[in-house]
């Protein structure tokens, strides 16, 4: 298996720059693993493919305005992109700007001071703020949209799911962006249930794999939680013979991290902590029976994950069909339902 096996040509015009309105009007491609044909519909009709008792597992994480602009003592401008909170005042961050070595201090206008306390891999740094920075973020921070989105987002809430309420992500769990309160209400009325997990998304999830052998790629850790109440609901769903359907690859990673801790006969165990699970073809899924997901970047860990679930050749063929039919790709793009 090579990283190049997960590459595909994508015309730039297929990268969605703005979200569809309303959210549930995005297109939906349905790929069933036990059938050869591909179905095409719209997302607000996703309930036609779900059964009473099915469980949709959603990620409640909320994107924080994590991009901060600061000034060096020389007056030069630098950028800090917060990735992961380590304690009350310490964060792992990506930095943009020269000379940001250990001991360097920067000033954030209308915010706390910050000091680089450790140089990590590449442009990563461990940063310590003079005061907890979260309370300042609404006024000093900007939403960290992915680098392939070049159009200004007027409504910042469109890069949040409608159920996002646990701040901590550097990027949105984009499969959940297609849900509206109205659609979720309709699904509940037909007997589909929802379970909630949290995984705070890091930017590495979307980065391409640069090693020739994907097995040599080091995936960075992300914090996730699946609480005992959710574990009971998931296990009851599995024992009742109903399907567990992850909304997004972040929910997949949380579920499968929890599955690795499960006792015999259970799908998952409660789990809280960092996960570095890397799902490649050949992986045996322990908790996930289906997933809702967007169309992912070439050579990314995410296209490898969906290939592990539905097969590499089938996924790449489906992507080519999506390009032919002018589906929209990536964060603000259309959706796939894999069953």
> Which residue ranges in the chain fall short of pLDDT 50?
none
Asked if 270 contacts 233 with a C-beta cutoff of 8 angstroms, the reply is no
Query: What domains are defined for the chain?
Result: 3-63+154-338 (3.40.1780.10), 67-142 (2.40.10.240)
Q: How far apart are CA 255 and CA 226, in angstroms?
A: 8
Which pLDDT value is given to residue 245?
A: 98
Beta strands in the chain (DSSP E): 27-31, 38-42, 55-59, 61-63, 67-72, 77-85, 90-96, 105-107, 113-119, 124-129, 141-142, 166-169, 193-199, 222-226, 244-247, 271-275, 290-294, 335-338
Q: Helices marked H in 43-196 — which ranges?
A: 137-140, 181-189
Q: What is each CA distance from 200 to 5, 117, 262, 310, in whole angstroms?
A: 28, 23, 22, 25
Q: Is 175 helix (H, G, I), strand (E, B) or coil?
A: helix
In this structure, is the dihedral angle defined by the CA atoms of residues 190, 195, 200 and 202, taken in order, positive or negative?
negative
Structure tokens at 251: 């929910």
Structure tokens at 6: 């997960």
Q: What is the pLDDT of residues 146-155, one digit of tens each?
A: 889 999 999 9
Q: Helices marked H in the chain — which ranges?
A: 137-140, 181-189, 228-239, 249-259, 301-310, 312-324
Question: Which residues have a Cβ under 8 Å from the Cβ of 152 and sit 6 or more positions away?
Answer: none
Q: How far apart are CA 240 and CA 238, in angstroms?
A: 5
Structure tokens at 333: 């793009």
- CB crowding 281-302: b at 16 or more within 10 Å, else e: beeebbbbbbbbbbbbbbbbbb
Q: What is the largest CA-CA distance in the chain?
A: 64
Q: How far apart are CA 202 and CA 178, in angstroms?
A: 20
Question: Which residues have a Cβ under 8 Å from the Cβ of 324 and sit 6 or more positions away?
Answer: none
Which pLDDT value is given to residue 122?
A: 85
Q: What is the pLDDT of residues 186-237, one digit of tens each?
A: 999 999 999 999 999 987 766 678 899 998 988 878 999 999 999 999 999 9
Structure tokens at 33: 């693993």
Comparing C-alpha atoms, which of 207, 206, 210 is closest to residue 2?
Answer: 210
Q: How far apart are CA 304 and CA 301, in angstroms?
A: 5
Taking the complete model, does pTM exceed 0.75, yes or no?
A: yes
Asked if 217 contacts 211 with a C-beta cutoff of 8 angstroms, the reply is yes
Which pLDDT value is given to residue 96?
A: 87
**Angle, CA of 290, 295 and 296, to the nearest 5°:** 105
The helix-helix angle for 301-310 and 312-324 (nearest 10°) equals 110
Which pLDDT value is given to residue 98?
A: 84
Locus of tokens 């994508």: 10
Which pLDDT value is given to residue 205?
A: 65
Which pLDDT value is given to residue 84?
A: 86
């Amino acid at each position: 298996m090579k990283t190049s096996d997960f590459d595909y040509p994508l015309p730039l015009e297929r990268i969605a720059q703005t979200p569809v309105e309303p959210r549930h009007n995005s297109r939906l491609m349905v790929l069933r693993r036990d059938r050869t044909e591909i179905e095409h519909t719209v997302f607000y009709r996703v309930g036609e493919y779900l059964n009473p008792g099915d469980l949709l597992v959603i990620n409640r994480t909320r994107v924080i305005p994590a991009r901060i602009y600061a000034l060096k003592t020389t007056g030069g401008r630098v950028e800090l992109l917060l990735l992961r909170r380590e304690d009350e005042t310490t964060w792992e961050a990506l930095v943009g700007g020269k000379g940001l070595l250990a001991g360097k201090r920067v000033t954030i206008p209308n915010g706390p001071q910050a000091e680089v306390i450790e140089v990590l891999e590449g442009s990563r740094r461990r940063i310590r703020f003079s005061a907890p920075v979260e309370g300042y973020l609404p006024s000093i921070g900007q939403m960290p949209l992915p680098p392939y989105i070049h159009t200004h987002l007027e409504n910042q809430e469109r890069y949040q799911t409608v159920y996002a309420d646990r701040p901590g992500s550097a990027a949105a769990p984009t499969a959940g962006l297609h849900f509206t309160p109205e659609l979720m209400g309709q699904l509940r009325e037909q007997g589909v249930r929802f379970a909630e997990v949290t995984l705070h998304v890091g930017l590495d999830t979307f980065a391409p794999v640069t090693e020739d052998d994907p097995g040599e790629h080091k995936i960075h850790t992300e914090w996730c939680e699946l609480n005992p109440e959710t574990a009971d609901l998931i296990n009851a769903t599995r024992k009742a013979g109903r399907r567990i359907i992850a909304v997004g690859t972040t929910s997949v990673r949380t579920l499968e991290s929890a599955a690795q801790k499960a006792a015999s006969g259970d799908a998952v165990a409660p789990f809280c902590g960092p996960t570095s699970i890397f799902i490649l073809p050949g992986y045996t899924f322990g908790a996930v029976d289906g997933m809702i997901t967007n169309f992912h970047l070439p050579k990314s860990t995410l296209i490898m994950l969906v290939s592990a679930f539905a097969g590499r050749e089938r996924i790449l063929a489906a992507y080519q069909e999506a390009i032919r039919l002018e589906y929209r790709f990536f964060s603000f793009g259309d959706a796939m339902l894999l069953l």
